[in-house]
Amino acid sequence: MKTKLAALFPIGILSILLVVGWVSFGQTHEAKCPHCQADVVQDTPEQDNEVPLMYGKKRIEYRCVMCAIADAEKSYKGDLLILAPSEIKGKPVEITRKEGEWSAPESTLFIGHKIKHRYCDRGYRAFTTRSAFDAHVEKYKVQLKEAKPISLAELLQIAKSDVAETPKKK
């Protein structure tokens, strides 16, 4: 009897820890975008969705590239890195701001069209080629019917207008 109880003890403790939430196995994290307050769309096996902004040792996750850039303009001074999901799973486009200057690889395209935040994870992404851009727009043609390719400089202008429209955080 004593050995049966001893064998059940670790199982009981693990069950309690799982219920209380101290241990998780494969549980996805849930987070709100610091800029738009919508849920950050988690990565899937097919595509990346989360947009991390690296600022010093901090990693902040955003719902889309627009949210990350707009929040960077409003909330962070200095150098930073944004890893924008691209059409290639696991190969984000690196957008940097160094000494106040933004940059991305020269061929990078973004979607130029004001998109409702509920679709921003589909709309505000980075593309490494025009054909990848076209394929994405075709896939989401209902939400992106007016989409056109734009450069990082043009995206920054849209983000700056978004910052002007967004109330300051408290």
Burial 58-85, CB ≥16 within 10 A → b, else e = eebbbbbbbbbbbbbbbeeeeebbbbbb
> Could you state, in chain order, the average pLDDT of each consecutive group of 10 residues for the chain (170 residues)?
56 50 45 87 83 95 92 93 94 96 95 73 88 93 88 89 55
Residues 28-165, CATH architecture: 2-Layer Sandwich (3.30)
Q: What is the pTM of this model?
A: 0.76
